[in-house]
């Protein structure tokens, strides 16, 4: 199956307004002059950048999304951003359930399930992040933890799940410099596909893009992308440098 190849950059809480504009200008120029492999680039900057960077990226093939979305349509949720607010400024991607949101902001599989439904209702592609902690892997619970996290997708229609992107990010590999080996990552991606086939159909499972995240760099991207079931990367630290981000995208 010919799945979409994706390099997605999660900027987290980095880059001021002007720094963000500079980084996107560099990424756009490099992508347009060097990137010839049909890889889809996505960037997930902080909210304050979304409107201006979406404008800056008009006419390019680079997508832009939010790092989080609220599950409710509107209301008294101080500090939150709704799906309709995002689409009103032309944003059609969002991360859901990044491990830092699960760890620091009490996001659960249940709240992620609600966010995914809301995103899809508003024509926003959810990039659903899942992955086990080190303690869970050491206790040999990593496959069951990921299966439980994937339960957040259960209520979706076949049409809905087909729009989603999955990012497998073992928590012990995020921002630590420790990457899962390409074999460990691929083994989990195959497991994820099997769970999705069980929840939906084999065809759905074969079509969905599953990204790996956790200390991806230009030095390890090629080997990761060569694996049968790794369709791209969700990149943190290395997405903050245009050269590294583009070199990762050139590794397909």
Q: What is the dihedral sign for C-alpha 9, 13, 17, 23? A: negative
Question: DSSP string of 21-54?
Answer: HHHHHHHHHHHHHH--S-PEEEEE--GGGHHHHH
235: contact with ligand PEP by CB under 6 A:
yes
Residue carrying structure tokens 């899809």 = 120
- Select from 234, 246, 248, 249 the one that contacts ligand PEP (CB under 6 A): 234
Residue nearest to ligand PEP (CB): 236
Min separation Cβ 58 and ligand PEP, Å: 26
| 142 catalytic residue (yes or no) | no
Residue carrying structure tokens 């504009």 = 21
Min separation Cβ 214 and ligand PEP, Å: 5
Nearer to ligand PEP, 84 or 178 (CB): 178
Min separation Cβ 67 and ligand PEP, Å: 9
Nearer to ligand PEP, 31 or 180 (CB): 180
Question: E strands, 104-220, where?
Answer: 125-130, 165-168, 210-213
* Tokens at 109, concatenated: 């599989």
105: contact with ligand PEP by CB under 6 A:
no
Min separation Cβ 169 and ligand PEP, Å: 5
Helix (H) or strand (E) holding 64: strand 63-64
236: contact with ligand PEP by CB under 6 A:
yes
Q: What is the dihedral sign for C-alpha 64, 67, 68, 74? A: negative
Query: Which residues 172-191 are close enough to bind ligand PEP by CB under 6 A?
Result: 174-175
| 58 catalytic residue (yes or no) | no
Residue tagged active-site, from 98, 122, 142, 189: 98
45: contact with ligand PEP by CB under 6 A:
no
C-alpha distances (whole Å) from 201 to each of 93, 145, 184, 230 are 24, 21, 24, 19
- Select from 211, 216, 224, 230 the one that contacts ligand PEP (CB under 6 A): 216
Contact 165, 127 (CB under 8 A): yes
Nearer to ligand PEP, 124 or 238 (CB): 238
Q: Catalog residues that contact ligand PEP under the rule CB under 6 A.
A: 10, 12, 169, 174-175, 213-216, 234-238
């Amino acid at each position: 199956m010919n799945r979409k190849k994706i390099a997605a950059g999660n900027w987290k809480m980095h880059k001021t307004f002007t720094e963000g504009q500079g980084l996107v200008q560099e990424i756009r120029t490099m992508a347009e002059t060097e990137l010839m492999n049909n890889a889809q680039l996505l960037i997930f900057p902080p909210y304050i950048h979304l409107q201006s960077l979406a404008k800056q990226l008009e006419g390019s093939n680079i997508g832009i999304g939010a790092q989080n979305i609220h599950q409710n349509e509107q209301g008294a949720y101080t500090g939150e951003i709704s799906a309709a607010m995002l689409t009103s400024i032309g944003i059609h991607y969002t991360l859901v359930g990044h491990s830092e949101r699960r760890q620091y902001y009490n996001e659960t599989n249940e709240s992620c399930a609600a966010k995914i439904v809301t995103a899809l209702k508003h024509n926003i592609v959810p990039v659903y992040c899942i992955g086990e902690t080190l303690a869970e892997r050491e206790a040999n619970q990593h496959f069951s933890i990921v299966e439980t996290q994937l339960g957040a997708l259960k209520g979706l229609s076949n049409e809905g799940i087909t729009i989603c992107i999955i990012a497998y990010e073992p928590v012990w590999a995020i921002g630590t410099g420790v990457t899962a080996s390409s074999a460990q990552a691929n083994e989990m991606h195959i497991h994820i596909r099997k769970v999705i086939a069980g929840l939906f159909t084999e065809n759905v499972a074969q079509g969905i893009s599953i990204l790996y995240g956790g200390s991806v760099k230009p030095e390890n991207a090629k080997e990761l992308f060569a694996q049968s079931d790794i369709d791209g990367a969700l990149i943190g630290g290395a997405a903050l440098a245009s050269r590294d981000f583009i070199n990762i995208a050139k590794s397909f």
